[in-house]
A and B are shown apart, each in its own frame.
Chain A
Amino acid sequence: MARTKKTPKLLGSELVVLNLGLDIFRQALESQNVRCVQVDLTQAPKLDKKLADALDRLL
């Protein structure tokens, strides 16, 4: 019987990337013309999620 499991669909799609951590990887992505955004979770460790989201809306 054929399996019904889901197979990831990443190949063949345009990559749109979130980069969490080392900025050097964002630079590498941008140099390859990949649409990406840098996320730094260490910059505001004391912020709760609502506040972090609010701050990001202001940026």
Chain B
Amino acid sequence: MPVLNVVKRNLFRDSIQLMRLTEDVKKLDGVDDAVVAMGTDTNRRLLQDLGLISKETAAAGDGDLIMAVRVRQGFDGADVMQNVEKLVMAPPAASGGQRTTVLHSVSSAIERLGGANLAIVSVPGGQAFEPSMELLRNGINVHLFSDHVPPDQELKLKEFARSKGLLLMGPGAGTSIINGIGLGFANSVKKGDIGIVASAGTGIQEVSIMLDRIGLGVSAALGVGGTDVSEKVGGLMMKECLDVLEKDEGTKMLMIIAKTPKERVIHEVMSHVEKETTKPVIACFLGLDAPSAKPGRMTYAKTLHSAVFRAARASGKEVEDAFEGRISMEFEEILKASKASALTLGKRRKFVRGLYSGGTLAHETLLIFRELTGEAYSNTPLSDRFLLPDPNKSKNNSVVDLGDEFFTAGRAHPMIDPTLRRLRIAQEAKDPSAAAIMLDVVLGYGSSSDPGGALTNEIEVAMRGGLAVMAHVCGTDSDPQSLGEQSHKLTSAGATLFASNALLSAEAALVVGGDQASSRLKRRWGDLLG
């Protein structure tokens, strides 16, 4: 079947529009398969893998739009491409069923809506400063989802926000929950009295869904973005958010989650906590050993799983029992399951491949692997020595964050579009040294409508090829995709599910790490899973 590509120079569509255009083009008469994408390296590689590339695309750049189509036998290629172009070139419209009014300036939107108190900003990072500043000048808090806002601009926005008594959450703030409303990628969780401040988006998701499963709830979860805990920004907005939660009468306990903050920043944030707050605090600084804790209201946790366990223990015996019953596993149970999995693997199958959509979850897995089997390779490694030379190719034990910029330039995030992960599972299944695939399946607002179901074909292929597939579903039954339904789809395809990412990681480490990993886990149980 002929493959035809058309390139439109300097034509931009955002990643969500491109994903939808791809689905719409696939439905046209005469189209066997299709991709509509920006001409980034990742997308050109995707076209190559799908057999959808032609010579016209060789000269396409990041700012050019590619329509790549495999035309069915018996159809005229020129006619088919004419229909494809007509569809793709139609002016983009907001989707979602009914017609939606789209406004073109911040000031007219403020006037039209009346009483706006929050904005979600997800424009390209290089263009985020001006509209964010305009919003702040108008007294509107900002949840800045965009990445790659220059550090100077971030600091300027945050200092201005603080001077006005406003919040500037982000850049790179993937998740927040305010007044029970999920912003960005967030799960539908119970309301309660635990307030979370985090510089780790899927950290909020993982902790909030685990709290939900044991009957605890969230008063607010405020995502401040990973760069807030950089040396330059110094945790400025993390401290502001802690002040907000300290003053909030509905918040009785504070949780702080940060992915590898700088030590000076940890010290600064914890000094602030000590001086300015009075409520019990559980702090989880993923990737760094906890500061020496004085006995009292501050508790430190090394993993997200442990942070929730400590919250459960602080909430009374009934909740601690719920944690033991609904989330935790006994050491012997994990050991037995890992030995059973290891027995089914051929002798050449030695390595785990973690294919993650959540950056914080990938990070937690890297930490647990470092403790149990030695550090794994990654595109976002704990130490430079373990940087994957090519993020598209795994090496030994590898944990890949498919939500990293390398993969998302010109594409929707893997929580929204599962295409890249499906291809990567199929790729790993062909590697005779791969023993097990680990997956996080993240539900919630903003995510794909069927994130688990979208992976089942590839999971089945991997299982038939002799690999083990293990997964953690980060979600609740109240999420739009439903935890029960997604879990059923994954287990029907053969995947083994775990109630937390830390349990999944420990199990995977034991499958390939054998007796040495299990004796390490036994020693480190209290730090990692208790």
Contacts and interface: CB of A to CB of B under 8 A. Distances in A.
Interface of A: 5-32, 34-44, 47, 49, 52-53, 55-57, 59
Contact of B119 (A9, A20, A35, A52): A20
Contacts of A27: 95-96
A52 to B, nearest CB: 4
A37 B115 CA distance: 12
Contacts of A6: 164-165
A56 B166 contact: no
B182 interface: yes
Contact of B247 (A7, A34, A47): A7
A59 B243 CA distance: 41
Interface string B144-182: 011000000000000000101111000000000011011
Interface string B214-244: 0000011000000000000000000010011
Given A20-B123, A22-B14, A49-B105, A7 B179 contact: no
A40 B102 contact: yes
Contact of A15 (B117, B219, B247): B117
B89 interface: no
In the A-B complex, the 4 residue pairs with the smallest Cβ-Cβ separation, listed nearest first, are A6-B165, A21-B122, A56-B108, A28-B445
Given A10-B167, A16-B118, A53 B108 contact: yes
A44 B248 contact: no
B106 interface: yes
B480 interface: yes
Contact of A52 (B108, B115, B243, B446): B108
B12 A7 contact: no
Given A6-B164, A16-B118, A31 B445 contact: yes
Contacts of A38: 94, 100-103
Contacts, number: 171
B511 to A, nearest CB: 36
Contact of A11 (B110, B116, B220, B445): B220
Interface in B238-259: 240, 243-245, 247-248, 250
Contacts of A31: 445, 480
A20 B131 contact: yes
A43 B112 CA distance: 18
B108 A20 contact: no
A25 B122 contact: yes
B103 A25 contact: no
Nearest to A27: B96
Given A11-B220, A30-B96, A18 B106 contact: yes
B208 interface: no
Given A6-B165, A8-B240, A10-B167, A32 B122 contact: no
A26 B107 CA distance: 18
B487 interface: no
Q: Which of B104, B135, B165, B179 has its CB near the most chain A CB atoms (within 10 A)?
A: B104
A21 B123 contact: yes
B100 to A, nearest CB: 6
A36 to B, nearest CB: 8
B109 interface: yes
A37 to B, nearest CB: 5
Contact of B101 (A13, A37, A47, A52): A37
A53 B330 CA distance: 62
Nearest to B122: A21
A23 B95 contact: yes
Contacts of A28: 182, 445-446
Given A26-B100, A52-B108, 9 more contacts: A11-B178, A11-B179, A11-B220, A21-B122, A22-B122, A23-B96, A27-B96, A29-B120, A37-B112
